[in-house]
A and B are shown apart, each in its own frame.
Chain A
Amino acid sequence: MTKVVDWIWKAPTLEERLKRIEEFLTNEGYSLPASPRDVDRSERGEKHIVYGEVWTVEYSVLDQTGRKVYHYRENEIDHIILERIDRGDSWAIEYLSHIPWILKRGRMIYVELGKVVYLSRQKFLHPDRNIYVPLQVIVKEHGERWYVETFYPVYY
């Protein structure tokens, strides 16, 4: 998938990269995730500094412990989605909209200082390989804020 990812990266802006991602997913028979429900969009568009970069709030969500977790647009597009494409896991991208649900209702399976791992209770169908796969979300603390760091399918 290197060539595809390189092609997406050559687009100079986030919006153009998103367009290329959408084009690629359409060709593969997938689509971008639906906008998640039951999240707080009151801070949408606000800018935070994370890893020395300016990231834009897409939404925030309260997890099952009441922890407020931000989800950033740049991290979703440039890290989570591109990593999934790079590994041939385009099918999982549609399930990005399940992240809030996993944080609220999933199993919290690992906790350490500044990092929590959640496992979906549901398994999701990989359409080409006809198997059901659980998904994990890792949230991390940066400064005094928590955010969605990554999201991936789990081998078990």
Chain B
Amino acid sequence: MKKILRFKYKENRGYFSLMWTDYTSGGTGNDTRYYEYLFFPIRDLVTGEIVGFSNDGGCFPEDYPRIMQLLKEHPIRERYDVPELGLVDVTVDQILTTIYEQYVLAPRREKLPIRVEGGRSA
């Protein structure tokens, strides 16, 4: 069974958090290796097990392309379920891409003026 991650997104600051719902031990730390302080695996301080992800101090809409590049260079192989995003058995890359599509691109599309026949904007 995959770890289920609880998703949270603060749109005004471009902050996301994905936490393992069954994690109860307490005592986590951001793993600051590899991802240039744009993206953090959150690990149990003692076991080192990944219990979540976040982009503390980052701005996801701006950082997304670089994070994806860094994840290609330092991939995370584990797969997760994220019910709030409708995702089952997916990689972190897929989760971040879905967040980007749903919370960054989709709102931008909604704000775009709709072209109607004759070239006038609605």
Which residue numbers of A lie inside 8 Å of B, CB to CB?
2, 51-53, 79, 83, 86-91, 110, 112, 115, 117, 126, 128-129, 131, 133, 136, 138, 140, 149-150, 152-156
Given A129-B26, A150-B56, list of 13 further CB < 8 A pairs?
A83-B56, A86-B19, A88-B24, A89-B28, A91-B27, A110-B37, A133-B45, A136-B32, A150-B57, A152-B30, A154-B32, A155-B29, A156-B32
* Chain A, residue nearest B31 (CB): A155
Q: Indicate whether A155 sits within 8 Å of B56 (C-beta atoms), given known contacts A86-B17, A88-B24.
A: no
Cα separation A136 to B24 with both chains bound (whole Å): 23
Cα A37 to Cα B64 in complex, Å, equals 38
The answer, among A86, A115, A128, A131, for a CB contact under 8 Å with B37, is A115
B76 shortest CB reach to chain A, Å: 14
Pull 21 A–B residue pairs with CB atoms less than 8 Å apart, ordered by A.
Answer: A2-B6, A2-B21, A79-B10, A88-B23, A88-B24, A89-B26, A110-B37, A117-B57, A126-B45, A129-B26, A129-B27, A129-B45, A138-B56, A140-B57, A149-B57, A150-B56, A152-B56, A155-B30, A155-B43, A155-B45, A155-B48
> Contact at B52–A87, with CB atoms within 8 Å?
yes
Residues in B whose Cβ lies below 8 Å from that of A86: 8, 17, 19
- Of B17, B23, B36, B45, the residue contacting A83 (CB under 8 A) is B17
Complexed CA–CA distance, A117 and B36 (Å): 10
**Number of B interface residues in the complex (CB < 8 A):** 30
B21 CB → nearest A CB, Å:
8
- CB pair B56–A153 under 8 Å, yes or no, is no
Question: Which of chain B's residues have a CB closer than 8 A to the CB of A2?
Answer: 6, 21
Q: Which of B15, B28, B32, B36 contacts A87 (CB 8 A)?
A: B28
Cα of A61 to Cα of B53 in the assembled complex, Å: 30
Check: B42 CB closer than 8 A to any chain A CB.
yes
Of all chain A residues, which has the CB nearest B6?
A2
**Cross-chain contact of A128 among B10, B26, B43 (Cβ < 8 A):** B26
Cα A51 to Cα B56 with chains together (Å): 15
Taking each of A2, A88, A91, A153, which has the highest tally of chain B beta carbons within 10 Å of its own beta carbon?
A88
A94: min CB distance to chain B, Å: 14
Across-interface contacts of B21 in A (CB, < 8 A) = 2
The docked-state distance in angstroms from the alpha carbon of A115 to that of B63 is 13
Residues from chain A with Cβ under 8 Å of B10 in the complex: 79
Q: Which residues of A contact B56 (CB under 8 A)?
A: 83, 138, 149-150, 152
Q: State whether A154 touches B26 (Cβ < 8 A).
A: no
Contacts of A136 in B (CB 8 A): 30, 32
